[in-house]
Amino acid sequence: MASLKRGYSESVSGGPAAGGSSTGQGADGDVAVQQTVGPDPYFPANGDPRYRVHRYELTLDYRPGPNRLSGAARINAIAGRASLAEFQLNLADFKIGRVRVDGRQPHYTHRGGRLRIRPAKPIRAGAAFTVEVHWSGNPKPVNSPWGGIGWEELDDGALVASQPVGAPSWYPCNDRPADKASYLISVTTPSAYSVVAGGRLLTRTAKASTTTWVYEQSAPTSSYLVGLSIGEYQTVLLGDPGLGGVPQHGHIPAHLLAEFSRDFARQPGMMHLFQQLFGPYPFDEYAVVVTEEELDVPVEAQGLSLFGANHVDGARGSERLVAHELAHQWFGNSVSIADWRHIWLNEGFAKYAEWLWSERSGGRSAQQLAAVAHRTLSSLPQDLRLADPGRKSMFDDRLYERGGLTVHAVRCALGDEAFFRMLRAWLSLHRGGAVTTSTLASHVARFAPEPLDDLFEAWVHGTALPPLPVLSAGRGAASA
């Protein structure tokens, strides 16, 4: 059984980044962080901030029986402010067949998940360069504090769910969330299997006993958000994509089709609501995959979410998780975090999207759900700081609940009209980029009738649980 353990269940209903940063300026003056200068403080061995990738082209051949993967990557990158005498990619323990930098053979070493490359001549500051890597072997999850993460061999097929550091389990990458690139992914596998990846399916070509699937993800994508699933699936259309709607597909084992049709029936309604509240869906299309096996939690990828068979019961028992994973397409995928200290920006807003869906679809209001979360947190240790929870606590249930409450506190302070304007502006300004907690605080301040420094200090930088924020009828009655 695939577990995809993260040390959290999603089941209970920051200050400036240390060090300098390379930034771009948003239209309203917000700072959109493109690259942090130093390594990620939670995962210093992952990623290389001395360059950035703008395109990955991956050609993969996978045989499910022997769990054999062979691949070739063409990586187009740009050096940073200093010349590169050497650089690194993250890649798990595969056999390396070939490495080239701009067509020339470099010196390289491959140890401990790091492919260190020294080009034949240093790469000039700001220069574009191309890296080619060929690799092969038996893919498996990489070790993490939450168990194995990344490529999961299933009883019949495979799936990839890489949050936070599992991407190197199957391809060489600059594994840091702020380094976002476009992807072209070609996967050849036996024809009995379907291949689902985040993005637009360009071609599907059958040849003898194999089929090659080619997907394009043109939007900037963090390495951990590149999702992939290989299995025997039936594909169904969710909703009508006509009249400018978002194409939505489900990929499901045939025996779960009846249950799936009930459990995901309201996803098109979620998509419609979230576009009203948050702005246009940021990608070309959206897919959900249900595996034959049970997963501890569903996991988002860019343009794609992965669910286990245990999340399909025919009674909409996991509907709030359907909303949560869809909301991540805006919060976390389109607008990403500069480093993992800021993960509450992903999870707090996705949690609050659950509450908004409940409120707008006839369930409990966001205020009622906030009260439940507040009561839960009041009985738990109050030693978690949203702005920097620490690697050990970055997937703690309390981060999700306190994050949702923080968003609710901002809504209470702004009122609905300003709150939803703020959300839509945030997602529009930083679409395709990476942000920090301080970026959000500066953005929210522009929509506030009075300074909110105390609110952010108490909810985000403090650990004690503040009083329950209350949405007044006068300020919260406006429709978005």
pLDDT at 1: 36
Q: Report if residue 15 sits inside a domain.
A: no
The C-alpha atoms of residue 208 and residue 97 are separated, in whole angstroms, by 26
Residue 120 CB partners (closer than 8 Å, separation 6+): 101, 104, 105, 106
- Strand (E) or helix (H) holding 306: strand 304-307
pLDDT at 218: 97
My answer on whether 197 and 258 are in the same domain is no
Which residues make up each annotated binding site for Zn(2+)?
Answer: 324, 328, 347
Residue 354 CB partners (closer than 8 Å, separation 6+): 13, 320, 323, 324, 327, 369, 404
Average pLDDT of the segment spanning 461-465: 98
Average pLDDT of the segment spanning 463-471: 97
Domain span including residue 267: 234-334
Told to judge if 216 belongs to the known catalytic residues of this protein, a careful annotator would answer: no
Chosen domain end from 175, 205, 232: 232
160 beta partners: 151, 228
Q: Which DSSP category does 449 fall into?
A: S
**Among 293, 325, 354, 401, which one carries the catalytic annotation?**
325
Q: Report if residue 145 sits inside a domain.
A: yes
Residues of the chain above pLDDT 70, percent: 90
My answer on whether 121 and 131 are in the same domain is yes
My answer on whether 155 and 201 are in the same domain is yes
pLDDT at 6: 42
Chosen domain end from 334, 356, 377: 334
My answer on whether 86 and 54 are in the same domain is yes
Average pLDDT of the segment spanning 186-205: 97
Residue 215 CB partners (closer than 8 Å, separation 6+): 183, 184, 185, 186, 187, 195, 197, 198, 199, 200, 201, 202
Average pLDDT of the segment spanning 7-28: 35
pLDDT at 408: 98
The CB density around residue 214, as the number of other CB atoms within 10 Å, is: 19
Q: What share of the chain is helix, strand, coil (3-state, %, to 5)?
A: 25, 30, 40
My answer on whether 322 and 435 are in the same domain is no
Cβ atoms of 479 and 416 closer than 8 Å: yes
My answer on whether 243 and 191 are in the same domain is no
CATH code (residue 263): 3.30.2010.30
The C-alpha atoms of residue 368 and residue 388 are separated, in whole angstroms, by 28
Q: Can you give the C-alpha Rg of the chain in angstroms?
A: 22
Chosen domain end from 334, 349, 382: 334
Average pLDDT of the segment spanning 282-294: 94
The C-alpha atoms of residue 26 and residue 10 are separated, in whole angstroms, by 32
pLDDT at 138 over 60: yes
Amino acid identity, position 169: S
Told to judge if 292 belongs to the known catalytic residues of this protein, a careful annotator would answer: no
My answer on whether 353 and 394 are in the same domain is yes
pLDDT at 348 over 80: yes
> HSE (CB half, 13 Å, CA atoms) of 292?
15
Q: Report if residue 104 sits inside a domain.
A: yes
My answer on whether 270 and 121 are in the same domain is no
Structural domain total, the chain: 3
Amino acid identity, position 375: R
Q: What are phi and psi of 249, to 5 degrees?
A: -125, 150
pLDDT at 350 over 80: yes
Q: Is 411 left (phi over 0), alpha (psi -120 to 50) or beta?
A: alpha
Q: Report if residue 10 sits inside a domain.
A: no
Cβ atoms of 21 and 33 closer than 8 Å: yes
Each residue of 204-252: pLDDT tens digit? 999 999 999 999 999 999 999 999 999 999 999 997 776 668 999 999 9
pLDDT at 322 over 60: yes
pLDDT band, very low/low/confident/very high, at 73 (cuts 50, 70, 90): very high
231 beta partners: 194
pLDDT at 18: 29
Each residue of 363-382: pLDDT tens digit? 999 999 999 999 999 999 99
- Strand (E) or helix (H) holding 371: helix 366-378
Burial category of 27 from C-beta neighbours within 10 Å (exposed 0-12, middle 13-18, buried 19 and up): exposed
CATH code (residue 60): 2.60.40.1730
My answer on whether 223 and 239 are in the same domain is no
Which residues make up each annotated binding site?
Answer: 324, 328, 347
Amino acid identity, position 279: G
My answer on whether 193 and 262 are in the same domain is no
Q: Which residues of 396-432 are buried (b: 16+ CB within 10 A; e: fewer)?
A: bbbbbbbbbbbbbbbbbbbbbebbbebbbbbbbbbbe
Each residue of 143-165: pLDDT tens digit? 999 999 999 999 999 999 999 99
Beta strands (DSSP E) in 18-50 are 21-25, 31-36
My answer on whether 56 and 153 are in the same domain is yes
User: Is 0.95 topped by the overall pTM?
Assistant: no
**Among 259, 352, 400, 401, which one carries the catalytic annotation?**
400
My answer on whether 94 and 215 are in the same domain is yes
Question: Please, where are the H alpha helices in 199-296?
Answer: 257-263, 267-278
